[in-house]
Structure 1
Amino acid sequence: MVISDRQAWQNMLATRPDVSTLEVPVGDRNDRITVLRVPPGDGADREIDIRVLYLHGTFRHAFWNLPKTAPMTAAGMTVYVPDYRGWGVSSPLLPSEDSINEDALAVWQALQELPSPNGNGRPVRWVIYGHSMGSAVAVALAAGLTAKHAYCALVVESSFTNFSDVAYEAAGWPGRWLVAMGEQRMDAEVLMASVKPPVWSLHGENDTTVPMRLGQRLFKRAPEPKTWAQWPLGHSNLHTDASGRYDQVWRDIRETCERSPG
């Protein structure tokens, strides 16, 4: 979702004084990607600095996705939420699969250059997290990284195999045919086998946007070690889980990253 009124954007940011922004250049047109930085909560003084790159889905810009970062920051992680070009106040563009993947890689590379806060020199570990459409972006990014121990965990939520399967679930064979006629594949199923573990896959049993069976099919392609978790919730509200299990997943991810080699 595009925000054409920058004052409206500033007004939203004013309601979250803890959130800061940075700008990342991308492409050959002097385009810019706006990234929101959400600071960690409890556990911020740990010996290892764990950071999350949050790749969001289709229908919400970065600010509207901030509530989903709460379990991550509560687990002591810093979260970076970029808006791809064509979302929020990032440069206007009719987005495509190529442009979105280009944006994710540009942000990833820029974030690797960030210094430790206050020059504390703590080791940094990265989590790549994607929700909905962002899950396919996360898988593509992770599959393309060749550096050893580039990230300590890949987390996909409300994930799917590819756009064609999502279209079929939503509209039957006409939907699949429409996707086949276009260029946007978002084929996470093909790329998932190439990512480096550990992998977490999180899904809502009542997800009517991306049925859980698509997430389960993608999970089967993931290499070991991997973890599956599900809740009796929907597509975008797993962070509202009242049982505490969703919060615990993020604490488990943090602990895994703390044990991960740099």
Structure 2
Amino acid sequence: MKSQIVTFLIKCPDQKGLVAKITSFFYKKGFNILSCQQYVNSVEDMYFMRIRLNAEGTNISKEQLEESFLELAKPLQFKWSVNYGDEKKNVAIMVSHTSHNLYDLLERSNEGRLNCNVKMVISNHNKLRHIAEMFNVPYYHLPVTKETKSEQEEQVKQLLDANEIDLVVMARYMQILSSDFINYYKDRIINIHHSFLPAFQGANPYKRAYERGVKLIGATAHYATEDLDEGPIIEQDVKPVTHESTTQTLKRIGADIEKLVLARAVKCHLNNQIIVSGNRAIVFPESGE
């Protein structure tokens, strides 16, 4: 096996002996366990594990490992995935008019702070092409109207599939995706929005937040689902503000928080730290990697 670091994500009904069975399996295959993170949801009686392994010195292929693990997984009702450290995920970023999230993600990727290949930027406007060109990332301008929505989404799908995209990041893409599109990329679309929702939906949320005298500004990153802005939450953050804050101040603070929250959410996905369970995201902390 070329890859030295292997990460398994496991979800199953809670039962006795899980840790012993899983760790014994990898020990017998010659793996060294680097970290083993667990969580038990006692309400739903579900068990979650993220286990990172060093494969150095093993003589097993990826195919053999997965086939052998499947024999353990079936009787224990595992839902599982595996990632090998030599596999970078391919990412597409979707944007409309706002540049701060796009620029931040491209800069982090370019500096190696996000372990991925940003394969493209897709937008319904041409306004942000220059940012993609700064980082030598292909930019696709695909305009959309109510009448052309299904055709435009089909174009997007074709682009994503042709480039084997693993993750779609909606970095302020101001279009509502269809349920067909979202379900086609289930748990592979991350969206960012301000944390005023649902109180201040629609246009000019910062103006209305200012008028109400809010005391906290925040942002939420979540997986996109059919229920608009109600998918499993990955990351959130807030910052206190005062009555002296203007609408422009709120916008600036909000943009800064959005960048950090979105980047952290994307990083967690790329690092295989997340297991989705129903409408919740179980997010394991980094464990020294």
Q: Give the TM-score band, short-chain normalised.
A: 0.3 to 0.5
Instruction: Say which structure is richer in strand.
Output: 2
**Could you tell me the TM-score, scaled by structure 1's length?**
0.41
Larger Rg: 2
Higher relative contact order (CA closer than 8 Å, sequence separation 6+): 1
